[in-house]
Each structure stands twice: as structure tokens, then as C-alpha cells.
Structure 1
Amino acid sequence: MSSKPRDPGPALPCAPHDSGALRALSAEGVALWLDRVSRRHLLDGTLRAWVRGGLVSGAVLSLAAMTDELRRTGTSYQPQVDALARGGCTPERVGRELLRSDARWACRVLAPVHARAGGLDGWVRTDGADGSASEALGLAADVDRRNLLVDVAATRSGLDVLRVCAREGVGTSATLVCSEERFAEVLDAHLSGLEDAVRDGRDPARSVCVPCVAVGEVDAAVDDALARVAGARPVPGFAGLTLARAVHGHLDRRLGGERWRALRSAGALPHRLAWHTATPAQVREIVGWRTAHVVSPETAVGTALGPVPLGDSLASRAPDVRRDLNALRRHGVHLGCLAETLTRHARQAHDRERAAFLEAVRDRMPRR
């Protein structure tokens, strides 16, 4: 064990106490959720301060952030790691317990927001399930908080997990949504699970699904593809906004149908869309009712200190979507095909993050 002085780690930027940009976003039904939260942000009160100050109303726990914290000198995880190791826990078990402890803590911090929002905000997303339905259900049972969302990758196998979770009353966040086609499949899987829950006599309000659309990743990939096309002039943010409009319009159409009306009358809560964004400009440009942006601390502060957004940019934009998608196709870019590549690369990156997290846990455990 190291006896070096504790490394405090990089400080989060200060949260503004008042912001015209945040007030404008809130009036349009837009929330900010803080990405890459770890034990340090819970222990030092940073997350609580940002929530109470109104800067963010949701949080995302990530294995990458936990790994960074575990590798710091004097990490805040060390006491729990030591206690679990003395109890004979394996590194895999230690990792699960660290994640579950952080999730319960973050859910307590966000619980008042969740209550005030009637179950439509105040969520804590957690990464950590291995991709199976049994792991997702077990994680949710161990944390046992109504405002927990278990991340489930929107892959072919992940669609089955989403349906099982919806049937069993577990909230989920469908990640890696990179196309309208995959979003439609996510929505179908979730609605099917809700219908199963209603038939089984369960409360569908417990089975929320928040699809997280990777607009930042899609933007970067499309800009890179267009940069290699002669005569193309990439417009930053163009592809992400187009994808957001396509997904938002698809959801509006589906929620206007008989299938959703029957579920809504049974008590199901309306969907909230989340955007995984990279810059304050994307937050200002992608504005729509009942949506959330998953942002870094720097992007959150940059948004709060930046210009006021001009208003809703998503509703009733079907003609714009068709025009913009056709423009991309003329340059050889099809978002549906691009999505498959992005999803594959993201899954590979996630597998590396899981391996790095377990390695960091092992390094923190006492040598036998």
C-alpha cells in the first residue's frame, strides 16, 4: 500500500449560481445530466452542490471515471476496497460493490429531483452490467432505488435485455443509439416489455427507458467522412442535429398511436430522450421538450455561461430531416450504415474499459 500524500485530483469547475441559458433550456423542457461521476464527486459534495444549485438534474456513473479515481494516490475507494478484500471478496465482487455503493449514493442525492419531477427526471445512469438480462436485473435489485437507470447497449442482443427489464420493472438507458432505425428497434423492444408488464399485472411506471442518442459521436464520424469527400464542406453539428430531429420526430409519431395510448392509460410514463453531446454549441442547438443532454463538467459550465438558446429546434422538422439526410446520402454518408460501425467500435471500447476497471481494482487490493 502506498504511503504517499493524497492526490486531490483535478477540481471540477465552479457551478454558476444563476444562468439565463439554463433558465431558457429549462423553460424548453431541457435538462443537463453530469457525465463521468465517481466516488470523489459524491464524497466531496460536488454532485450535491451542482444538483442543489440547479446546474444538473441527473448523473451518469462510468467505469472509466471510477478507474481514473482508483488509480489516484489516496483514492477515495481504498477503505471500501480494503474492507471487502478482508472479507475474502474477489476483484470482480469488489468492483460490483464499489459500483453499487456509488449508485445508491448518487440516487439519494438525486431523489428529491426525481420526486419533484414526478419520476420524469432526477435519474442516475450506471454502467456496469455485463450485457445480460440477469446482470441488469441483479444490479437494479442490489441498488434498489426508483431513480436508477441501468445502461443497456442498443445492440441486437441488448434489445432483448431492454424488453426483459421493462417487463420486470427495471429502468434502463439504451446507449449507443446512432440511427433512427436503431432507435425504432429500441422503442419497439421497450413497448413490448411494457405490454408484458401490464399483462402480468405490474406497474409500467417502474419500467422507464431513456434512449441516449450519440449525437456527438455521430457528428464527429460524419465530419470525418465528409472531410474525405471532394467538394464536401462539413458543417459542425449538422449531422447530430439531423439525427436528433429524426429520432424526436419518430418518437412523436409513435406516441401519437393507439399502442402508446393504451400503455399510457395503464400508467406508463412518457419517454425522455437523452443526447450524448460534446460541446455547449450542441446543447444550445439541440433543444426540445422532455430531453436531456449528458455533458462533461466543462460543457455544463460552458453552456451555463454561454448564449441563450433560440428555442425548440426539434419539433415539426420532418421536411428538414428528409432534406438533410438526402444531402448526406448524396455525399455517400448513410447514418444507418455508419451506426453499425460506431456501435461496434463503442462496444470494443466498453470491453476495454471493463478490463481496465478490474485491473485497477486488483491493483488496489492487498497483496496476499
Structure 2
Amino acid sequence: MTQNTRTQALSDAGVSIWLDDLSRGRLTSGNLQELVDTKNIVGVTTNPSIFQAAISGAQDYDADIAELAKAGKDVDAVVEKLTTDDVRSAADLFAPVAEATEGQDGRVSIEVDPRLAHETEKTIAQAHRLSEIVDRSNVMIKIPATKEGLPAITEVIGAGISVNVTLIFSVDRYREVIDAYLAGLEKADAAGIDLSTIRSVGSFFVSRFDTEIDARLEKLGGDALELRGKAGVANARVAFGVYLEKFSSERFEKLAAKGARVQRALWASTGVKNPEYADTMYVDQLVASPTVNTMPEKTLDAVADHSELGKALDAEAAQASAADLEKISAAGVDLDDVYAVLEREGVEKFEKAWNELLETVAAQIASA
């Protein structure tokens, strides 16, 4: 089948397009395969909100829930089974992509229980468990970039498990995430693990950053209003500058000589929240190689229809964007507070979605 010319151009520019969604319906209907064949989709990300919407909003899971309920499974076991089954099926669908790209793409991500975001040891344990249950080499385990998540990232990477680090909002935390990844690679190397088998992405959230900062700029008023819609792209561009710095370091070069791969930056939350902004802005303005852009289908469709890619990012663009953040700070926005609020709310939103999913499935178990 023929790929869309605009998504192909993005792919040719070094941006891997992953779909930010998964459901059983996408798998069984052939929709996901169609997106692979026609819109350059080479991976999938999931999160608690995606699973909550998928399982609560469809009948595709009713038979499995009823069967598991009769077997005496509790709600946590049922949800674990449903989600890992879907991820395994998606991983099988993407196996040819993984093989063709030597493991760089064809990746499917599944997140640890969001209620464990501040519990290091339990996060490590569940990352191992999810990896073992899905049992596919192209799965990625998502771990949040909380302070407690950082040592978990190192330990899980050190065990040879590929990791998608999620909920990154600040450039400083992104530096810590990369350091945690490099420490994990060093640990894996010491254990004799083939470093070429380990892959990782750092998921840097974009649109949520604009939403929070725009609200603060609107309260400030005046000239501050001119800065709306600039923070998300600027923050991500500065982060890419950190990526360029860290992965050209002597520390990484030593690991690369042993087969280690870079931890690609992944642009997450790329669906535009403000209807006044161009609906492809978080794609067109964040072209960089190698990166990943994980898109909800609405954004993917917009990109396929009318995307106009901007100039590829480099270190110079990162430095210029740092000036935009300085302007926002000078206008009176406390960026450190923004980072803290977004991380806390990010964890809380995923916890809320997960709890709602558990409640929905518990009700179905009770009526089975």
C-alpha cells in the first residue's frame, strides 16, 4: 500500500511516528495495520487513560471479563490480563517493523501502575512482571520520570529491559532521565548484557506545558499575552539540545562502542489543546532526527492532510528557544512551579483514569 506523502516526509526527516492509542477494536478491525500501511505508523504508546477509554467504552472485552470472573480473578488480575493481551497482540503486529529497523521502531509501550509513581522498588518489580507477561522483545515498559522513578529506570535498563520514560516536563529532569539511562546501560554492561538489545525513549510532554503557561500568561495580561503558545515548543527544543549534548559525550561514546543506542527524545502530548493554534504545530515545529512523535489519531489525520514541516532542529535552535523560556520567566511565570504542578497533575490524572478503569471492570465482574 502507498504511504501518505506528508507522513512519509516526516519519516524521511528522521521522525518515527507512533500512534498514541490502542484498543482491541483497532487490532481486530485491521485499523492499526492500515495505519502502518498508509500513514507510516511504526509504534504505539499506551497509558492508563487510553486503556480506561478502550476497555470502558467497548464490548470487545466483555467475554474475557466474564471468563476471568468465573475463574475467580480479582479486578487487578483482570485488568492486567486485558491490557497485556492487547499490548502483546500489538507487539506481534509490529514485529516486522521491529525486525526491519533492528529494534529501533516497532515498539509498543505499557505503563506500570500509576499508583506506584512514587515507589521505586514496587515500580522495578512491576516493570519486570509486565516485561515477563507480555514476553515480546519489542515491548517498552513505561516508567514515570518522578524522583522515585529515576533509580527505577536505572535498575530496569540495567536488567536489559527497554524503557519508555514518561511524564517529563522540565529540561533539568530530562538531564536526570538521560543520566539514569546511561547509568542503566553501564549496569547492564557490567552484567554482560548485550547493549544493542536495549532501547529507550524519553517522553517529553509538550501541549500540557503550553496549556499551563498560557493560563498564567493570561492572568498576567499585557505584553505577556504575546508569549502564549511558545512555551511548549521552546521547552522541547531546549530539551533536544540537551539530547545532542548528552549523546555526544565521552560517557556515551564508550557505551556506544559496546553497542549502546541513544535514548531518543519522544514528543508526547502533541494534540493541540487550544483551537486557536495550528493543529499540527507540535509536529511541524519539532522536526528532529532521530526523534519520535507519538500522536493521537486526530493529530495524525491533520498531519496527513496539511502538515508543513519546519526546519530540522539543531543546537542553534535549542539555544534560541532558551531565550523564549527566559522571556516567559521574566514576564512573571514561575517555571519551576509549572514543572512541579504538571508532574503532580500528570500522575494524578493517570491514577484517576486507572481507578476509574478498575471501578468499571469491578462492576462488570460483579454482574458476570
Q: Give me the TM-score of the superposition, normalised by structure 1.
A: 0.91
Structure 1 residues 288-327: Cα deviation after superposition (integer angstroms, max 9, x where no partner): 0011111111110101111331330344324303321221
> 5+ unaligned residues in a row in structure 2: which ranges?
118-122, 273-279
| Aligned partner of 1:160 among 132, 145, 151 | 151
How far apart in 1 are the matches of 2:211 and 2:221? Answer: 18
Q: How many residues align?
A: 352
| Aligned partner of 2:204 among 201, 207, 213 | 213
Any conservation in 1 of the 2:241–2:319 contact (CA below 8 Å)? no
How far apart in 1 are the matches of 2:221 and 2:60? Answer: 51
| Aligned partner of 2:217 among 206, 209, 226 | 226
What amino acid does structure 2 have at the position aligned with 1:106? A
What amino acid does structure 2 have at the position aligned with 1:50? L
- Deviation of residue 334 (structure 1)? 4.1
Any conservation in 1 of the 2:4–2:39 contact (CA below 8 Å)? no
Q: Which runs of structure 2 are paired with 1:41-60 in the superposition (5 Å)?
A: 41-60=26-45
Structure 1 residues 194-230: Cα deviation after superposition (integer angstroms, max 9, x where no partner): 1011011112233322110011111111111111113
Any conservation in 2 of the 1:223–1:234 contact (CA below 8 Å)? no
Match in the other structure for 1:297: 297
Q: Which runs of structure 2 are paired with 1:220-299 in the superposition (5 Å)?
A: 220-231=211-222, 232-276=224-268, 277-279=270-272, 280-299=280-299
Match in the other structure for 1:203: 194
Identity of aligned residues (%): 27
Any conservation in 2 of the 1:39–1:66 contact (CA below 8 Å)? no
Bigger Cα displacement from structure 2, 159-168 vs 17-26:
17-26
Structure 1 residues 12-54: Cα deviation after superposition (integer angstroms, max 9, x where no partner): xxxx954332222112101221112111111211111111224
Q: Which runs of structure 2 are paired with 1:69-148 in the superposition (5 Å)?
A: 69-72=54-57, 75-129=59-113, 130-131=116-117, 132-148=123-139
How far apart in 1 are the matches of 2:107 and 2:225? Answer: 39
C-alpha RMSD of matched pairs (Å): 1.8
What amino acid does structure 1 have at the position aligned with 2:30? G
Bigger Cα displacement from structure 2, 103-112 vs 126-135:
126-135
- Cα 1:318–1:59, aligned 2, differ >3 Å: closer, same or farther? closer
Bigger Cα displacement from structure 2, 323-332 vs 96-105:
323-332
How far apart in 1 are the matches of 2:216 and 2:164? Answer: 28
Match in the other structure for 1:35: 20
How far apart in 1 are the matches of 2:56 and 2:322? Answer: 47
Match in the other structure for 1:9: none
How far apart in 2 are the matches of 1:315 and 1:146? Answer: 33
Any conservation in 2 of the 1:124–1:149 contact (CA below 8 Å)? yes
- 1:188 is aligned to 2:188: no
Any conservation in 2 of the 1:100–1:143 contact (CA below 8 Å)? yes
Bigger Cα displacement from structure 2, 164-173 vs 80-89:
80-89
Any conservation in 1 of the 2:217–2:227 contact (CA below 8 Å)? no
Any conservation in 2 of the 1:168–1:207 contact (CA below 8 Å)? no
- Cα 1:76–1:247, aligned 2, differ >3 Å: closer, same or farther? same
How far apart in 1 are the matches of 2:67 and 2:322? Answer: 57
How far apart in 1 are the matches of 2:318 and 2:49? Answer: 37
- 1:338 is aligned to 2:338: yes
How far apart in 2 are the matches of 1:53 and 1:362? Answer: 38
Bigger Cα displacement from structure 2, 267-276 vs 334-343:
334-343
How far apart in 2 are the matches of 1:213 and 1:162? Answer: 16
What amino acid does structure 2 have at the position aligned with 1:181? D
- Cα 1:266–1:18, aligned 2, differ >3 Å: closer, same or farther? closer
Match in the other structure for 1:313: 313
Bigger Cα displacement from structure 2, 162-171 vs 197-206:
197-206
Any conservation in 1 of the 2:90–2:108 contact (CA below 8 Å)? yes
Secondary structure, counterpart of 1:57 in structure 2: strand
Any conservation in 1 of the 2:163–2:200 contact (CA below 8 Å)? yes
Match in the other structure for 1:360: 360
How far apart in 1 are the matches of 2:221 and 2:165? Answer: 36
